Structure 1
Amino acid sequence: MQRFIWLTAFLLLLGGCDKLTAEQDVLSALKKIAAYEQNAAEQQKKLNELEQKQNKLYDQMMSYGMKQFAKVEQLSKESLELVEERDKQVEKEHKAIQSAKREINAVKKKVSQLHDENIKRQAVRLVDIEKKRYETYDDLYLHYKEMLSLEKDLYLLLQNRHTTPKQLQRQIERVNEQYKKLIAANQRLNEDTEKYNKEMKRLSHIIWK
């Protein structure tokens, strides 16, 4: 799932802020946020790679079926290790976003000190959208953590020779339902990100006109 795909354009918008005066503090704070999110984007890239590896293992397990229990057991153990790696990776992503989230309060304080009313109004709008975006991310993070927990339970079931098809099917359905929630949360985050991009461009236009 792609998130933070807006960062390159965002950083380019902020690249010339050294020429500014009163607005410089605001844009400098926004650059700090962008740096934190760049870190989050790097963690997400690694997370995506782990997800792809795990998907391949899952497809293999489903192709074997429980009749080839030894193979399924081994692959499920490897999958559990990947779940643990993903958990560590998403925590790094979350830590970076929380740092950016704290920085938005500094931006809000600096915005209140702006004298140009047009710039101030647009900056306030930008901050409000970004705060909402971080709330959306927090929701996404909780859904992801829940999915990891459900996946862990699934792979433990696959290591138990006595797991019934009914038990297995029920757990797969739980994982799939959680994945739907995760996809929906990710879509909301992308929508919030698009709104933020548009408002950032407007702010840049007002400052540089």
Structure 2
Amino acid sequence: MRKKNKWLMFGMSAALSGSILTGCMGPSPSEQAYEALENVVSKESPFKKEQQPLLELEQKENKIYNQIIALGMKDFEKIKTLSGDALKLVADRKDRIETEQKSIAESEKAFKDAEEALGKIEDGKAEKEADELKKLMHDRYNSYNELAKSYKSAIALDEELYKMFQNKELKLEDLEAHISKINASYKEVMELNKKFNEYTEQYNTAKKAFYKAADIKVDQ
């Protein structure tokens, strides 16, 4: 059995940055927006916490994959055991991506409050920065939804792969065709992850610009 490559998953995704207010909170629209925007950050805490565990699961699974490929079906019972272990890791990844999605959904819900506050801002540059902030965040949410959908499709292909390894009559051409699908799937995941990270970085930068334009004093 020839060794094939399998994409290591997308790993770390960029998370929103938070700030600590150093001045006094007040009732102005800008300060209301500040509170709402920082609440959005807090809603993504579970998303942020899932990044390192997901990366570690991906690395463990890739290690098992390489062990299976190295055996080349010479020790089928060992391959069955290893593929069973890999399926458990896949199941864990599925659970964690669900937690991640719920966190982003809560963030998106909380952002509606931020939009309402941002819509009340009427002074020049701050209003312009607020509009840019809203656009970038919507682009970010849309990007994440594409990414999550693609990643879950890739996980499904991984699950199918390890079930294939449990078939003693597995044909090399079938395995190679499936791994090609996986490689193409993870290539798409990596491209979408890059796009999501870029939107996140742009949003974090735009939020700082808004705070500066609105004269909100924060530690950054």
Give the alignment's TM-score, normalised by structure 1.
0.92
Higher helix fraction (1 or 2): 1
Contact 2:129 2:210 (C-alpha < 8 Å) held by counterparts = yes
Cα shift readout 1:6-42 (whole Å, capped 9, x = no counterpart): x4xx213x43364454111101111111011222110
Please identify runs of 4+ aligned residues in structure 1 that moved more than 6 A.
none
Contact 1:4 1:37 (C-alpha < 8 Å) held by counterparts = no
> Would the alpha carbon gap of residues 18 and 49 (structure 1) be closer, same or farther in structure 2, given more than 3 Å must change?
farther
Measured after TM superposition, the shift of residue 85 of structure 1 is 0.6
Match of 1:3 in 2: 13
In 1, the alpha carbon distance for the partners of 2:51 and 2:101 equals 10
> Would the alpha carbon gap of residues 125 and 107 (structure 1) be closer, same or farther in structure 2, given more than 3 Å must change?
same
Match of 1:84 in 2: 91
Q: How many residues align?
A: 205
> Would the alpha carbon gap of residues 102 and 17 (structure 1) be closer, same or farther in structure 2, given more than 3 Å must change?
farther
> Would the alpha carbon gap of residues 64 and 190 (structure 1) be closer, same or farther in structure 2, given more than 3 Å must change?
same
Match of 1:16 in 2: 22
Aligned with 1:103 (options 91, 100, 110): 110
Cα shift readout 1:73-124 (whole Å, capped 9, x = no counterpart): 1100010011111000000000000110112222111112224232122112
Confirm whether residue 135 of structure 1 aligns to residue 142 of structure 2. Answer: yes
Match of 1:54 in 2: 61
Contact 1:17 1:28 (C-alpha < 8 Å) held by counterparts = no
In 1, the alpha carbon distance for the partners of 2:23 and 2:154 equals 41
Contact 2:40 2:110 (C-alpha < 8 Å) held by counterparts = yes
In 2, the alpha carbon distance for the partners of 1:17 and 1:146 equals 46
User: Which residue identity does 2:171 align to in structure 1?
Assistant: T
Q: Could you tell me the percent identity over the aligned residues? A: 28
Match of 1:148 in 2: 155
Q: Which runs of 5+ in 2 are unaligned?
A: 1-10
User: Which residue identity does 1:2 align to in structure 2?
Assistant: M
Give the alignment's TM-score, normalised by structure 2.
0.88
User: Which residue identity does 2:42 align to in structure 1?
Assistant: A
In 2, the alpha carbon distance for the partners of 1:39 and 1:28 equals 19
Q: Which runs of 5+ in 1 are unaligned?
A: none
After the TM superposition, which residues 109-128 of structure 1 pair with which residues of structure 2 at under 5 Å, given as runs? 109-128=116-135
Contact 2:14 2:201 (C-alpha < 8 Å) held by counterparts = no
> Would the alpha carbon gap of residues 20 and 136 (structure 1) be closer, same or farther in structure 2, given more than 3 Å must change?
same
User: Which residue identity does 2:198 align to in structure 1?
Assistant: E
In 2, the alpha carbon distance for the partners of 1:45 and 1:17 equals 34
In 2, the alpha carbon distance for the partners of 1:107 and 1:32 equals 9
User: Which residue identity does 1:15 align to in structure 2?
Assistant: L
Match of 1:44 in 2: 51
| The 10-residue stretch of structure 1 (110-119 or 87-96) with the greater mean CA deviation from structure 2 | 110-119
Contact 1:17 1:24 (C-alpha < 8 Å) held by counterparts = no
Which has the bigger relative contact order, CA under 8 A and spacing at least 6?
2
In 1, the alpha carbon distance for the partners of 2:151 and 2:56 equals 16
> Would the alpha carbon gap of residues 206 and 84 (structure 1) be closer, same or farther in structure 2, given more than 3 Å must change?
same
In 2, the alpha carbon distance for the partners of 1:135 and 1:93 equals 15
